[in-house]
Amino acid sequence: MNNALAARVLPQLDETLIAGLPPFARLSGHQIREILEFASVREVSEGATFFREGEPADRFFMLLDGFVRVVRITEDGEQVIALHIPAGQLFGIAKALARDTYPATAEAACDGIVLSWPVSLWDKFSAEYPGFLTETYRSVGERMGEMNERLMDLATKHVEQRIANVLLRLVNQTGKQTDDGIEIGFPITRQDVSEMTGCTLHTVSRLLSAWEKAGIVRSKRKRIVVCRPHALVELSETPQR
């Protein structure tokens, strides 16, 4: 699908691709065309970096296809994955929060396609395009809510519950139905899961093995399929043991 989409999108940007996205939903055909005029398109492959924490925020982005991983790195080199952003959302919107540098690093969790605009257009977008700001702040609010959930989990839950929660969230947000169950929509390693849950990849590996034996998940290299989501829900709710 990625390739098919790329083939459609790259030769000539198709306005129907972005017309339905929340920040642009209320715009006229003319406005959509205008937006596309200004946009740079970029095809990215897994692992590509869009921008790094601390860099001057000179562009903002719309993800058309794929997933973006938002990452922060501690002084001693440990990564923490703060968030995953699905296709159809804006990111790198430091300007919306009156910042002039990016607060985190953004990289492609899988191959994908992004549009981007210079930040100098931000004020034009927010002034002229009805709904743009509202929808932007709605998704800021949602991301804050998600961070909050993770904060609570890290503060109060056990590793097992946190991992169960992360899998459930990813499956809800990005899941694709397969014959076995629901698969997380992008490649993901044990290391990634550990960086999302604040534990070691060893613990993740052990738990996934155990869950695989129990028939709750199935996983291949970089792929995780959840077969019995409800079992995970129960695990994530069990206070301890």
In the complex, the residues that contact DNA under the rule CB under 7 A are: 158-160, 189-191, 198-203, 205-206, 208-209, 212, 219-222, 240-241
Residue 4 interacting entry, from a second copy, DNA, none, C-beta within 5 to 8 Å by type: none
Residue 224's contacts (CB-CB under 8 Å, 6 or more residues apart) are 167, 183, 184, 188, 208, 217, 218
Q: What whole-number distance in Å separates Cα of residue 49 and Cα of residue 145?
A: 25
Question: For a second copy, which is the closer residue by CB, 187 or 198?
Answer: 198
Half-sphere exposure (Cβ direction) of 113: Cα atoms closer than 13 Å:
19
Q: For residue 73, give the DSSP letter.
A: E
Name residues contacting a second copy, limited to 90-119 (CB under 8 A): 96-99, 103-104
Closest approach, Cβ 74 to a second copy, in A, equals 5
Instruction: Evaluate whether 81 touches 70 at the Cβ level (below 8 Å).
Output: yes
Q: Does 233 bind a second copy (CB under 8 A)?
A: no
Question: For a second copy, which is the closer residue by CB, 33 or 99?
Answer: 99
Q: For residue 99, give the DSSP letter.
A: -
Closest approach, Cβ 218 to a second copy, in A, equals 27
Question: For DNA, which is the closer residue by CB, 143 or 206?
Answer: 206
> Radius of gyration (Cα) for the chain, nearest Å?
19
Residue 240 interacting entry, from DNA, a second copy, none, C-beta within 5 to 8 Å by type: DNA
Residue 41, classed as helix, strand or coil, is strand
Instruction: Tell me the angle at which helices 159-174 and 201-213 cross, rounded to the nearest 10 degrees.
Output: 70
Residue 99 interacting entry, from DNA, a second copy, none, C-beta within 5 to 8 Å by type: a second copy
Give the distance from CA 31 to its chain's centroid: 27
Task: Give residue 21's identity as a one-letter amino acid code.
Answer: L
Closest approach, Cβ 7 to DNA, in A, equals 21
Closest approach, Cβ 237 to a second copy, in A, equals 8
Q: Does 28 bind a second copy (CB under 8 A)?
A: no
Residue 204 — left, alpha, or beta (φ > 0 → left; ψ -120 to 50 → alpha)?
A: alpha
Question: For DNA, which is the closer residue by CB, 33 or 202?
Answer: 202
Which range touches a second copy (CB under 8 A), out of 4-12, 137-145, 169-177, 202-210?
A: 137-145
Question: For a second copy, which is the closer residue by CB, 5 or 196?
Answer: 196
Q: What whole-number distance in Å separates Cα of residue 189 and Cα of residue 99?
A: 32
45-83 in b/e burial notation, b at 16+ Cβ within 10 A? eeeeebbeeeeebbbbbbbbbbbbbbbeeeeeeebebbb
The residues that touch a second copy, with contacts defined as CB under 8 A, are 72, 74-76, 78, 80, 82, 96-99, 103-104, 134-135, 137-138, 140-141, 144-145, 147-148, 150-152, 154-156, 195, 197-198, 237, 239
